[in-house]
Chain A
């Protein structure tokens, strides 16, 4: 099989991805899984690299994340979260567990999932459509707000370290986060 690059096929849209996860859940459909793998594995690897992992480590953990996606497909509820949101949550939890394993060798496996870390929309319906709208909304933030939000998601750095990396006072980082988040919320509420 050629290297998976995700660039050599038309990217499935959010609702197509959700449908593919549904097919894995319903009938262990390996063809659907292959498409999901092509789409998500390279993105998950990119996410893990941004979180500071080396290439080989990110590769290995990306494979684990994709295996979790196969095992947990039944827990995906498209009315609660979009496909990318669900995969993000799995990748994030894997990253947390991995960091713990690295620190604490005496607790080698079966690190439990934390409660409250499952995709957790209940009163808010985040359909695939809404997820797509959010991508637009992120693009509407100022570059400074985008930078802080991205750093918040993609580095393991607490806000104090982000502040010193950007040479900004902690208060400025916090207020940019707040501004960015309230703008995001407003953009989502305005959307049709």
Chain B
């Protein structure tokens, strides 16, 4: 029977327990988005650089990360990185599950953000570069003060989608044992011998997070449209 323990599970304590899991998922996604954004700016700068070596490096990063499953990336970081660091430093190194999640998701998100930022930069009119050039601004000043602010405005909608994807993909980190939202639901399921109810509740939490973000994203977009 499905939902046999629904009313039993629906207690304030259990809802708070799931909420804590949701907060882990949300903070992991938010941190990964921010760090991924830094990787994205670096990756995009490398991909549009005049230096061939940097361009190749940027391409390898994007292709390798986008071409392999995130689950595999999480497993690799979980299994390989601590061993590598232990071998290098000689001290036993244990990474916290949350940190593994953030590192894996940031690297993954960075590859997608690289492409977003690169297309955002390419979408800015060539005349903007030329105007800066005639005013004597350096390439870096032009990028930082004129191009990136315009590029970012263009990529806010896809960046929000990326955030939503990260919230959902954070469930993949449950594979290494981190108690985020999905794993919290699983723990409740184990406790009550019924999984449908806690999984559906987790679904409601995921939806609540993603819909709220979409709502604020739309408001932000409208506010930013002032200078369009």
A binds B: no
Residues of A within 8 A of B (CB): none
